[in-house]
Structure 1
Amino acid sequence: MGGCKIYSFSGTNIDPAVKTISIQTFQNNANNGPSALAQSFTENFKDYFQRNTTLKLLPRDGDLQFEGQIVAYDFAPAAITREGNVDQAGVNRLTVQVRVRFTNARDPKQDFEQTFQSNADFPASRDIASINSDPTATRDVLRNIITDVFNKSVANW
């Protein structure tokens, strides 16, 4: 396989010269959302990269560097139903957007700044307070964003 691109069975495409990663705390710049959203997102982000790569996590100045902010956390009706003469939400949708700045100190051509978005639908019986108080409610939404960032940055998809 000499001369082939760098490949691993985890799906990453990381240059062997890249050994470290640094992930700054993602700030919550959205107007709403649970108080622990920024911390939860950042820790899940770190965990995902540590589980799926062999990169050593540094507090700053890693070969790969991530920083950013949560820019939107919106909860709104996604489908309206009519009961009698009253329109009401049939489904509520949570949408989260995270702006990510990625720096590859070894290959600056790989750098990017992009907003990633994911959403999830909930029954109309669930309001924003019940979503915010249930850490499992946002898990898939955040995981989808983290996976998309992972794929763009180290899997080169």
Structure 2
Amino acid sequence: MDKRHNTHIIKYIRTERHRHSLFVSFWTMLISLILSSCSVSYKFNGASIDYSKTKTIQIADFPIRSSYVWGPMASIFNNQLKDVYANNTRLILVKRNGDMKIEGEITQYNQRNKAVSSEGYSAQTELSMTVNVRFTNNANHSEDFERQFSAQASYETTQSLNSVQEELVTQMVKEITDQIFNATVANW
């Protein structure tokens, strides 16, 4: 009886050790998965700014220099450009003498036929926007540049431009301001 009882106890201990080992392995794997998924889902804006040297940014309002103009476009662009730096950096926005300076103008805002239907009519129209940017980094002038940034958005010709213009301009402005942000402070 003792030998049989001891055999059951040994089997029980082995089973419990195995369960414990599986339990520890499961939790270790789960914690590793959670930690790795957190690092993957963490939003990294890519800003690489030496805040000991660079504390302020001056962003001038960009005027519209395009022959085709939609009135609200300049304010949408100027607000979004300032917001992207305010939300993704610790730089302080100043009116003059910034450690970094961004200025320029909206040089093009166009629409063109993008696709033609089988009947020979325009089926899709593309809006495009181009912005000329002059960037000055007073802490490191080797990073200074003047460059153009562009974005496009399309809409079905069955829709009127008035009905989609605000949405499409906002979409293009977001794309262009992200490009400017990446070119000026992301360094990738």
Whether TM exceeds 0.5 here: the answer is yes
Which structure 1 residue ranges, 4+ long, deviate > 6 Å from structure 2? none
What residue in structure 2 maps to residue 13 of structure 1?
A: 48
- Aligned runs of 1:46-57 on 2, under 5 Å? 46-57=82-93
* Per-residue deviation, residues 20-78 of structure 1 (Å, max 9, x unmatched): 00100001001113112112201110011100000000012211100000000001111
**Partner residue of 2:143?**
110
Q: What is the CA distance between 1:90 and its match in structure 2?
A: 1.3
Secondary structure of residue in 2 paired with 1:68: strand
Q: Secondary structure at the match of 1:34?
A: coil
Per residue, is there more helix in 1 or in 2? 2
Q: Deviations over 1:83-129 (max 9, x none)?
A: 2xxx1111110000000000001100000000000001101112333
Tell me the residue number matched to 2:183: 152
Is 1:63 aligned to 2:131, yes or no? no
Q: CA RMSD in A?
A: 1.5
Contact 2:73 2:169 in 1 (8 A): no
Letter in 1 for 2:132: R
Matches within 5 A, 1:68-83: 68-83=104-119
1:90 maps to what in 2? 123
Task: Name which of 159, 162, 165 aligns with 1:129.
Answer: 162
Matched, 1:24 2:60: yes
Q: What TM-score does the superposition give when structure 1 sets the normalisation length? A: 0.87
For 1:73 and 1:130, the matched residues in 2 are separated by 17
**Structure 1 range deviating more: 30-39 or 44-53:** 30-39
One-letter code aligned to 1:52: N
Which structure carries more strand by proportion? 1
CA contact (8 A) 1:76 1:93 kept: yes
Given residue 151 of structure 1, which amino acid in structure 2 is its aligned partner?
A: N
Equivalence for 1:38: 74
1:119 maps to which of 146, 152, 157: 152
How far did residue 137 of structure 1 move?
Answer: 2.6
User: Which residue identity lines up with residue 14 of structure 1 in the other structure?
Assistant: I
Task: Quote the sequence identity (%).
Answer: 32
After TM superposition, the score normalised by the length of structure 2 is 0.73
Structure 1 runs not aligned, ≥5 long: 1-8
Q: Quick check: 2:84–2:177 contact (8 Å CA) kept in 1?
A: yes
Equivalent pairs counted in the alignment come to 145
Unaligned runs of 5+ in 2: 1-43
